[in-house]
Amino acid sequence: MALLVVVLLLGGAAVAWQRWQGGDTQAVDAPATPNRTSTTVATQHSTQPTAAPPTAGRSRSSPTPSESDDQKAEQLLDACRAKVEAADKTLAAAKVGIGHWSEHVQAQTDFNTGKIDADRLAKIFKRTRNAGPSDVRKYNKAVKAYNTLPDSRDVLAAAPAKLSSAMARCDERSRAQDPVLSAAEDGMHDWAKHLSDMRRSDSGQVHDARGIWIRTWSAAPPHIRAFDRAVARFEAPDC
């Protein structure tokens, strides 16, 4: 199979190489890394005071202890839900990006086996490559939003006993998200690296673009399959 790939690529594929991989040449940032931390549910109260929101116009009496506890509990649950939602958005962005990367890689495989011709290959390469920079930007934006929120350990450790059931659901979803986030990071890194390689090739900084692509194409499937498996296995309650 390796010999077949080399023969095909060095034949007609070599002549059309630059045309096939043509597309958007804008810069691509390296994919961001999600900070993934989760833990089992704890039920003790936090020792850190929670500031009450300011009121306008007139003063009000201090809330009773039960009111303060209820407000704090809702804030903690909201924080946990926000973290989980941010992870969901990160995974949604990764699905789009790795979906395009998978199409890009599969197009080369299909060409090598004669399933598609050179024109079809060129169209798929151009369409997916042009989508790539946006894929990476959206993924990085989602990861940045995820990383700016308090991690699961901080939120769960501060949760009162009355929220143990709701927090347990959030913790379960957060822990289930971890392997998918990890697989997403690997797949998006590969996609961003290829886009960067192509941009450098366009500017004349790479002198063996075909060889680099052959190695990239050969190495890509494990990360793509790992992400697809992680997505398929993901099952967790809403919170």
Question: Tokens for 157?
Answer: 């450790």
| Predicted pLDDT of residue 39 | 32
Lowest mean pLDDT of 9-18, 52-61, 160-169, 206-215, name the range: 52-61
* Chain CA centroid to CA 151, Å: 17
| Pick from 22, 6, 38, 30: nearest CA to 214 | 6
Name the token pair of 95.
């699905």
Q: Give yes or no for residue 11 having a pLDDT over 60.
A: no
Cα gap 183→226, rounded to integer Å: 6
- Please identify which residue in the block is written with the tokens 């949760």: 159
Average pLDDT over residues 30-45: 51
Among the residue ranges 62-66, 93-97, 198-202, the one predicted with the least confidence is 62-66
- Domains of the chain are 65-233 (1.20.120)
Q: Which string of DSSP letters, residue by residue, matches 113-167? A: TTSS-HHHHHHHHHHHHHHHHHHHHHHHHHHHHHHHSPPHHHHHHT--GGGHHHH
For 188-205, what is the mean pLDDT? 92
pTM for the model stands at 0.75
Tens digits of per-residue pLDDT, 50-93? 333 333 333 344 444 455 767 877 888 899 899 999 999 999 99
What's the rounded mean pLDDT across residues 7-35? 54
**Cα–Cα dist 211/3, whole Å:** 14
Residues 6 or more apart whose Cβ sits within 8 Å of residue 162: 69, 73
Give 161's Cβ-side CA count (13 Å radius): 0
| CB burial string 81-119: b at 16+ within 10 A, e below | bbbbbbbbbbbebbbebbbbbbebbbbbebbbeeebeee
Contact yes or no for 230/179 (Cβ under 8 A): yes
Measured CA to CA, the distance from residue 73 to residue 41 in angstroms comes to: 14
State the pLDDT confidence band at 152, using cuts at 50, 70 and 90.
low
> Which range is least confidently modeled, 31-35, 209-213, 225-229?
31-35
Q: Is the pLDDT of residue 199 over 70?
A: yes
* DSSP one-letter code for 10: H
